[in-house]
A and B are shown apart, each in its own frame.
Chain A
Amino acid sequence: MSTPTINNETPSTANSQPNQKSMTKAERRELQEKQRAAKLAQKQQSQTPMNSKAKSKTAPAPKKSSTGPADVTQSSGADASKHHLKDTVAANMDREAVTSKSRSLRIFSHFGLPKYGSGGKGDIHPCILRLALQFSEFRICGANARCIATLTAFKTVIQDYTTPQSNTLSRHLMSHLSPQITHLVSARPMSVTMGNAIRQLKLEISGSDIDLPEQDAKDLLCHKIDDYIQDRIIVADDVIQNFALNKIKDGDVILTYARSSIVEKVLLHAYKMGKRFSVIIVDSRPLLEGKALLQALTSAPPVSWTLSNDSLLPPPPPIACTYALLPALPSLITEATTVILGAHSLHSNGAVYSRAGTALVSMVAKQHNVPVLVCCETYKFSDGVMLDGFGKNELAPSHLFQTSSPQTPNLEILNPLYDLTPPSYITAVVTEVGLIPPSSISSIPMALGKISM
């Protein structure tokens, strides 16, 4: 389907800009119409990104519909001019829009993709604008980092907010925050961690005391946000480090995939505690995040003598690291004693949603009887059930990570960011409440309750 699209598009683009003087009346009218439609389309795209996405998804089905998409090749009669017009519109859009449009692999059309030039609404706080840009450029990346950054930005937004006349903070603040959240989501789809944190924040806002002076109420909210970051992320990470430490023994070979902030902390902590182990970092295009982990591990500060069982132990040698790409995994897995992975979110059936490639690593590890540990804070738990990585996913914007020649006309680049690891491939999930088999995840949020911020 995609092949004729592009072939069709090229000649129409060439035809679209003839000299106005040499045109017939009908042609001039057509051009006028075209320009109007282009304006409209651009406006639509900027205002309701969700809407335009939905349209591009549903449109291809009826062949003769007036909003006929660019990839309907054979149309005739009156439709032809409109069809032609649509092509022009598509051609006029900036490069990124074209890429997203021509992503006509329909089964993936629902995958979230950052939308540019959107959300020009007046009310967006500058720090949210900046954050959205950082998200969309992948400057801030990773579930924990994004959640912390979002909450910190919201603190600024809340501090800069004043309740309008004849309104209360508990009722109005959320409607002030909603467009900010929408703007962030338009930059990059919301992570489960952000969703959980925002839900908690909403709860806190709606529960805040009406009689409290405004500044006090705002301070209280900021304080609650700080507590959330501290309790659910930072302290949780410390506890996870200690649990994971017990599972790393001298002489172990730890295999990990890509880069997770918590796995990095676990490995560095274990090293600091004098464990002697080596690490195999498996990595994959397009993000190649493992390089950052490699950098962090190899530049770990040297450790002094450690005290263990009342005897001083000499400092361990620097962490021996092996860096390899995913195709080398089968030959490296036989060396590994434990696989430690991070997670984007954890679903109630025990499935782990994590960087694309994680499922493959855990599958191979299971095949070779190597225990797989997933480090994950409890705030990453999601109530939903996911069955595969197709229902929901996100695409890495190709312009950020493209390494091959950019102009290959018939090449569609598809980089899903995540995949889903079924619970059967995971030995245990390391959370701040202990090591838990993935099958028992569902009993955790109950036991933990939706504890307040």
Chain B
Amino acid sequence: MDICATYRRKLEDHQISPPLAAILSLAELCATSTAGTMFELTTALNEGADLLKHHSSNPISLTAGCELFIAFVSLFAHDSTSFSDLKMELVRQGDAYVRQALAYRRRIAELAVDFIKDDSVILTHSYSRVVMETLLLAHRRNKRVSVYVTEARPRGLGVKTAEALTAAGIPCTVILDSAVSYVMEKVDFVLVGSEAVVESGGLINAIGSLNIAIIAKAANKPFYALAESYKFHRLFPLSQYDLPSHNPRILSFASPVEREKATEDISSPASPDIRSVGAITQDEIARNNPDVDYTRPDLISLVFSELGSLTPSGVSQYLVGMFAG
């Protein structure tokens, strides 16, 4: 079974986020695995998880899902009579968890919507399903909200958010990533989703979140993060360069000669006659830039998860209690 293909197939469903897709893929791996003992099964799962991490450009959020499922499998108290029964049971449990997890967004929205006052101006970043759910719920509850959304280069997902919100009838403006400090004065609070919430109580999210958090702190505006508990990840980054997604290629200084060559390579097949030596393309910039950044816990006001509204230190206490216990 090709776990990476399964993972990609699962991700095609719009509701499924990377950690859930990872759980589903691993559950499927359980079903097809030929393992005859618990040890073999755990080894197979770990190998599958490694494969997924290896083939993903941004392994942080899916790792949280893999970790959760493998911990679940090794601690699962079962009463199955045979090993194949157990495997089927694990698959059922995985599916059940994912079904249950899909309702988490709704619960988080219910928690967070009380923090949205009528006539609020909200700044959000990029596209996040749980932020969308919350904003739409506030709108349905007849709260007049207006939303600024960052364009969030290089992926430009902010436009997707703006389209969806405008379609729902929420006033929404796309701002440049560089215009965050300009707009911060007008904003009541910042609301972002997350890729992962880490043990320090900090946040890993699409690049640019740290900028917004720092600016919000400087302007004394609350910075709220929304995260389902399956995004809680046992990781303690000390800095941006300590993230698992960091590699030496990111933000490296290319020597001028190398860069010239690289531009040639890219431009030659597409447009052999236009030699744009010296012009830096958007692609080229994106290639050497990080996808995610780490927001320190002292910049975050609250993290909403389906477990409740937690302070960053509350998140770290929960994680410590869960894994160190």
Chain A residues close to B by CB (< 8 Å) = 247, 249, 338, 371, 373, 427-428, 433-437, 439-440, 442-444, 446-448
Set of chain B residues within 8 Å of A435, measured between Cβ atoms:
199, 236
Asked whether B238 lies within 8 Å of A447 as measured between CB atoms, the reply is no
Q: Name the residue among A434, A440, A443, A444 with the largest chain B CB count within 10 angstroms.
A: A440
Task: Tell me which residues from 215 to 243 in chain B have a Cβ below 8 Å from any Cβ of chain A.
Answer: 234, 236, 238-239, 241-242
Query: A428-B200, A448-B324 in contact; A434/B234 too (CB < 8 A)?
Result: yes
Asked whether B238 lies within 8 Å of A437 as measured between CB atoms, the reply is no
Residues of B in contact with A, size category: 10 to 19
Set of chain A residues within 8 Å of B182, measured between Cβ atoms:
none
Chain B residues close to A by CB (< 8 Å) = 199-201, 234, 236, 238-239, 241-242, 297, 313, 316-317, 320-321, 323-325
Query: Whole-angstrom distance between the alpha carbons of A373 and B236 in the complex?
Result: 11
Asked whether A371 lies within 8 Å of B324 as measured between CB atoms, the reply is no
Binding site secondary structure of chain A: mixed
Asked whether B238 lies within 8 Å of A338 as measured between CB atoms, the reply is yes
Asked whether A439 lies within 8 Å of B238 as measured between CB atoms, the reply is no
Query: Whole-angstrom distance between the alpha carbons of A373 and B237 in the complex?
Result: 12
Asked whether A434 lies within 8 Å of B199 as measured between CB atoms, the reply is yes
Query: A427-B238, A428-B236 in contact; A437/B200 too (CB < 8 A)?
Result: yes
Query: Whole-angstrom distance between the alpha carbons of A447 and B323 in the complex?
Result: 9
Query: Whole-angstrom distance between the alpha carbons of A191 and B152 in the complex?
Result: 54
Asked whether A444 lies within 8 Å of B320 as measured between CB atoms, the reply is yes
Query: Whole-angstrom distance between the alpha carbons of A436 and B236 in the complex?
Result: 8
Asked whether A440 lies within 8 Å of B317 as measured between CB atoms, the reply is yes
Query: Whole-angstrom distance between the alpha carbons of A446 and B316 in the complex?
Result: 14
Asked whether A436 lies within 8 Å of B316 as measured between CB atoms, the reply is yes
Set of chain B residues within 8 Å of A427, measured between Cβ atoms:
200, 238
Among A249, A371, A443, point to the contact of B320 (Cβ < 8 A).
A443
Query: A434-B323, A437-B199 in contact; A443/B317 too (CB < 8 A)?
Result: yes
**A86 to chain B: closest CB distance in Å?**
54
Among B239, B313, B317, B323, point to the contact of A371 (Cβ < 8 A).
B239
**B311 to chain A: closest CB distance in Å?**
9
**B325 to chain A: closest CB distance in Å?**
4
Query: Whole-angstrom distance between the alpha carbons of A110 and B236 in the complex?
Result: 40
**B239 to chain A: closest CB distance in Å?**
6
Set of chain B residues within 8 Å of A440, measured between Cβ atoms:
313, 316-317, 320
Asked whether B324 lies within 8 Å of A444 as measured between CB atoms, the reply is yes
Asked whether B297 lies within 8 Å of A437 as measured between CB atoms, the reply is yes
Set of chain B residues within 8 Å of A371, measured between Cβ atoms:
238-239
Asked whether B316 lies within 8 Å of A437 as measured between CB atoms, the reply is yes
Set of chain B residues within 8 Å of A443, measured between Cβ atoms:
317, 320-321
**B295 to chain A: closest CB distance in Å?**
14
Q: A371-B238, A435-B199, A437-B316 are in contact. List 12 more A-B contacts (CB 8 A).
A: A247-B242, A249-B241, A428-B238, A434-B199, A434-B320, A436-B199, A436-B316, A437-B199, A439-B313, A440-B313, A443-B321, A448-B325
Set of chain B residues within 8 Å of A434, measured between Cβ atoms:
199, 234, 236, 320, 323-324
Pairs across A and B, CB under 8 Å, 26 listed: A247-B238, A247-B242, A249-B241, A249-B242, A338-B238, A371-B239, A427-B200, A427-B238, A428-B236, A428-B238, A433-B320, A434-B234, A434-B323, A436-B316, A436-B320, A436-B324, A437-B199, A437-B236, A437-B316, A439-B201, A440-B313, A440-B316, A440-B320, A443-B317, A447-B325, A448-B324
Set of chain A residues within 8 Å of B316, measured between Cβ atoms:
436-437, 439-440
Query: Whole-angstrom distance between the alpha carbons of A436 and B321 in the complex?
Result: 11
